[in-house]
A and B are shown apart, each in its own frame.
Chain A
Amino acid sequence: MAKITIDKLRHSYSPNPTGPDDYALKEIDLDWTDGGAYALLGPSGCGKSTLLNIISGLLTPSEGRVLFDGKDVTNLPPDQRNIAQVFQFPVIYDTMTVYDNLAFPLRNRGVDSARIDARVMEIATMLELEDRLATRASNLTPDNKQKISMGRGLVRDDVNVVMFDEPLTVIDPALKWKLRSKLKELHQKIAVTMIYVTHDQTEALTFADQVVVMQDGVIVQIGSPVELFERPQHTFVGHFIGSPGMNILPCEVVDGGATFQGQKIALEGKVVKTGQTTEIGIRPEYVRLSDSGIPATVRKAADIGRHTVVEMMTGGVAINAITDAAPPEPGTEVRLSFDPDQTRVYSDGWIATEVAK
């Protein structure tokens, strides 16, 4: 178990990178404390798997360092980093039994057989594979194969970190929930550092204490699930997390305040910086249908279970609101107001309002 530090890390897949566009990872600095459950969240191609492979040692970064407990491991191969990794698709040793598959990482490190037996039994019981230990792994269903892959990642209890690269892609939804809660349970029990890579916000938010959101090779925000939801540091986070995501409305900034459609909008605090573009960010949860405020036309209302998502247009911009009340008919003219303490201005994508202390 270790604290993981990523120091000024950059990585490019081309041998002679010229501009920032050649980098898959652009200047990453991170500190992960010992025993935490972390998620790396971002859309496909944002660099999260690259970062994971650099931590595991499958890739050597172009620039920067990776430290485990302050020790530089940047140039160590994976087997000397004392880590475990679970891949997106099941990796099993076909000719071995389930037991031998699970025991493989331990045997390679010369663990004595009594200890191997105990660990394998424990992991197999947790994954509900205990009655299949003597089966040849190639005869299992994809679900069970992936369970073995995960089991091999979890069987060693002396690892610095266990990494998961979208491990539940091939698992069907009912089992997904179960395995995720098993993982969470296991993490609380053994308190080993875990890093979970995913593009699925539900997986990231339910698994992790701290979520690292990435876009285009840059970390846009690190925070707890609540922080990411309540106060996105970047419009990308606001839009990517939440269903539907945060409304982003172009606005004008005058004297530290914002105007949208000619109306002054109350904000959480003063606007402290301006850039090329200025936008208001407001989550649909905090948009209210009211008697006064910004005029809008209802286009559609979608029932998503406990709530209704109302899609509207205001001055050529789409805006969503979530309401518990009976939704208005399409075509209805409504007025909108925003909760001031949840209304922020973003300048060039980054948050630009400050809450007065």
Chain B
Amino acid sequence: MKTENQKAWLFVLPVLALVAFNALIPLMTVVNYSVQETFGNNLFFWQGLDWFENILRSDRFHAALGRQVMFTAIILAIEIPLGVMIALAMPRSGPWVSVCLVLMALPLLIPWNVVGAMWNIFTLPDIGLLGYFMNNVLGVDYNMTQSPTAAWVTIIVMDVWHWTSLVVLLAYAGLISIPEPYYQAAKIDGASNWSVFRYIQLPKMKRVLTIAILLRFMDSFNIYTEVFVLTGGGPGNSTTLLSIDLVKVALGQFDLGNAAAMSLVYFAFTLLVSWLFYTIMMRDEE
């Protein structure tokens, strides 16, 4: 029989400890809350799967999930093609490369809550640059604290402004890794611009685009700070995305069991969709 050296576990131990404290233990706490009813003075009562049943049947959860899926679908549909287009239009060499890269990286460097605050001021109808311009110069009635449509347009434009750069940078990295002879060969083979995109650029960008879609899906699906600072989930509940609703339940109402069950469902959903994306995108890779 082969004797196995078990020492390797020792080397994995520090990582296990770290992951335990920053992920596993908090997660297990949430699991713990999700099956109990909580009262003050640390009184807990076993509740079973009631909270989960509750959540899955709740109209409020369905509505928040619907808004969340719509938000993520819209920003992915805009940011991915737009990011690829900008990356294609960027210069491959010369002094403008670094200028473009720095400009692209700027929005990514701004903290989430600052982004929210910036757009909040930017869109104020009386003093904000955009808000004033829309209302008083173009004559469009634009007030995101009153109109759900205006609020939605604003959070989408804000997210596109903040995160398209990430897609651009990833796509650009994929593009510049294509050696020049590929373009030369395509020219000689008589390939159209569309063929060059379809058969050379897109396949070479596939891996980075998969990463881009995954990152943008997960980030936008978990978005909280920017929307919270900008609209606070309103007007009404019109921009109450999943995480905003979750925080309202957990901290606003201090309904720990409900919130815990909700976050577990939320977590499972994110995990499932990410896995699906990845599997489908990588299906025909060897």
Asked if B252 is at the interface of the complex by the 8 Å CB criterion, the answer is no
**Contacts known (A93-B200, A96-B199, A108-B195); A87 close to B185, Cβ less than 8 A:** yes
* In contact, A108 and B192 (Cβ under 8 angstroms): yes
Which stretch (A77-85, A212-220, A252-260, A342-350) binds chain B? A77-85
Complexed CA–CA distance, A94 and B201 (Å) = 10
Asked if B94 is at the interface of the complex by the 8 Å CB criterion, the answer is no
* In contact, B184 and A87 (Cβ under 8 angstroms): yes
CB distance from A310 to the nearest CB of B (A): 44
Asked if A91 is at the interface of the complex by the 8 Å CB criterion, the answer is yes
Complexed CA–CA distance, A349 and B181 (Å) = 36
* In contact, A58 and B184 (Cβ under 8 angstroms): yes
Fill in one digit per residue for B172-211: 1 if any A CB lies within 8 Å of its CB, else 0. 0000000101101101111110010001100110000000
* In contact, A78 and B184 (Cβ under 8 angstroms): yes
**Contacts known (A85-B184, A87-B181, A88-B181); A105 close to B189, Cβ less than 8 A:** yes
Complexed CA–CA distance, A89 and B189 (Å) = 16
Asked if B4 is at the interface of the complex by the 8 Å CB criterion, the answer is no
* In contact, A95 and B199 (Cβ under 8 angstroms): yes
- Note all chain B residues with C-beta closer than 8 A to A139: 286
Asked if A48 is at the interface of the complex by the 8 Å CB criterion, the answer is no
* In contact, B181 and A78 (Cβ under 8 angstroms): no
* In contact, A91 and B182 (Cβ under 8 angstroms): yes
- Note all chain A residues with C-beta closer than 8 A to B200: 93
CB distance from A169 to the nearest CB of B (A): 12
Complexed CA–CA distance, A105 and B191 (Å) = 8
* In contact, A84 and B199 (Cβ under 8 angstroms): no
- Note all chain A residues with C-beta closer than 8 A to B189: 79, 104-105, 108, 152
Fill in one digit per residue for A72-112: 1 if any B CB lies within 8 Å of its CB, else 0. 00000111000111011101011110000000110011000
**Contacts known (A95-B199, A96-B199); A89 close to B188, Cβ less than 8 A:** no
Complexed CA–CA distance, A91 and B190 (Å) = 14
Complexed CA–CA distance, A56 and B184 (Å) = 10
Complexed CA–CA distance, A95 and B202 (Å) = 10
Complexed CA–CA distance, A109 and B189 (Å) = 9
* In contact, A108 and B190 (Cβ under 8 angstroms): yes
* In contact, B199 and A93 (Cβ under 8 angstroms): yes
Fill in one digit per residue for A42-70: 1 if any B CB lies within 8 Å of its CB, else 0. 00000000000100101000000000000
- Note all chain A residues with C-beta closer than 8 A to B199: 93, 95-96, 104
- Note all chain A residues with C-beta closer than 8 A to B190: 79, 105, 108-109
How many residues does chain A have at the interface if contact means C-beta atoms less than 8 Å apart?
25
Interface residues of B in 187-243 (CB under 8 A from A): 187-192, 195, 199-200, 203-204
Residue of A nearest to B184 (CB): A58
Residue of A nearest to B187 (CB): A78
Which of A56, A78, A88, A109 has the most C-beta atoms of chain B within 10 angstroms of its own C-beta?
A78
- Note all chain B residues with C-beta closer than 8 A to A95: 199, 203
Fill in one digit per residue for A134-160: 1 if any B CB lies within 8 Å of its CB, else 0. 000011000000000100100000000
* In contact, B179 and A94 (Cβ under 8 angstroms): no
Complexed CA–CA distance, A214 and B203 (Å) = 39
Complexed CA–CA distance, A71 and B190 (Å) = 20
Residue of A nearest to B181 (CB): A87
Residue of B nearest to A105 (CB): B189
**Contacts known (A93-B199, A95-B199, A108-B195); A79 close to B181, Cβ less than 8 A:** no
Which of A87, A88, A89, A91 has the most C-beta atoms of chain B within 10 angstroms of its own C-beta?
A91
* In contact, A79 and B184 (Cβ under 8 angstroms): no
CB distance from A276 to the nearest CB of B (A): 41
Residue of B nearest to A89 (CB): B181
* In contact, B192 and A78 (Cβ under 8 angstroms): no
* In contact, B179 and A85 (Cβ under 8 angstroms): no
* In contact, A56 and B191 (Cβ under 8 angstroms): no
CB distance from B280 to the nearest CB of A (A): 16
Complexed CA–CA distance, A56 and B187 (Å) = 10
Complexed CA–CA distance, A109 and B192 (Å) = 11
Complexed CA–CA distance, A278 and B189 (Å) = 50
Residue of B nearest to A104 (CB): B189
- Note all chain B residues with C-beta closer than 8 A to A87: 181, 184-185
Complexed CA–CA distance, A144 and B126 (Å) = 68
* In contact, B192 and A85 (Cβ under 8 angstroms): no
Complexed CA–CA distance, A92 and B149 (Å) = 48
Complexed CA–CA distance, A84 and B187 (Å) = 10
* In contact, B191 and A78 (Cβ under 8 angstroms): no
Interface residues of B in 123-177 (CB under 8 A from A): none
- Note all chain B residues with C-beta closer than 8 A to A83: 188
Residue of B nearest to A152 (CB): B189
B residues within 8 Å of A by Cβ?
Answer: 179, 181-182, 184-185, 187-192, 195, 199-200, 203-204, 286
8 A-B pairs with least C-beta separation = A108-B190, A91-B185, A105-B189, A87-B181, A79-B190, A93-B199, A78-B187, A95-B203
A-B contact pairs, 8 of them (CB 8 A): A83-B188, A87-B184, A89-B181, A94-B204, A104-B199, A108-B190, A108-B195, A152-B185
11 further A-B pairs in the complex, CB-CB below 8 A; given A58-B188, A108-B191: A78-B187, A79-B189, A79-B190, A85-B184, A93-B199, A93-B200, A94-B203, A94-B204, A105-B189, A109-B190, A139-B286
